[in-house]
Amino acid sequence: MPLATRVVLLAGPSGSGKTHLAQASGLPLLDLDDFYKDGEDPTSPRHPTLGIVDWDDPASWDGAGALDALESICRDGAADVPVYDISRDGRVGTRPFEVGAYRAFVATGIFAAELVAGARERALLADAIVLRRSRVKNFLRRLRRDLAEHRKPPLTLVRRGLNLLRAEPAIVARQVALGARACNRTDTLAALAALRAAASST
pLDDT at residue 47, as a whole number: 77
Of the pLDDT bands very low, low, confident and very high (cuts 50, 70, 90), residue 198 is confident
* pLDDT beyond 80 at 77: yes
Contact 13, 138 (CB under 8 A): yes
* pLDDT beyond 80 at 161: no
pLDDT tens, residue by residue, 133-152: 878 887 788 778 877 777 77
**Mean of pLDDT values over 45-69:** 86
C-alpha 135/C-alpha 200 separation (Å) is: 34
**Mean of pLDDT values over 93-116:** 95
Which domains does the chain possess? Answer: 6-200 (3.40.50.300)
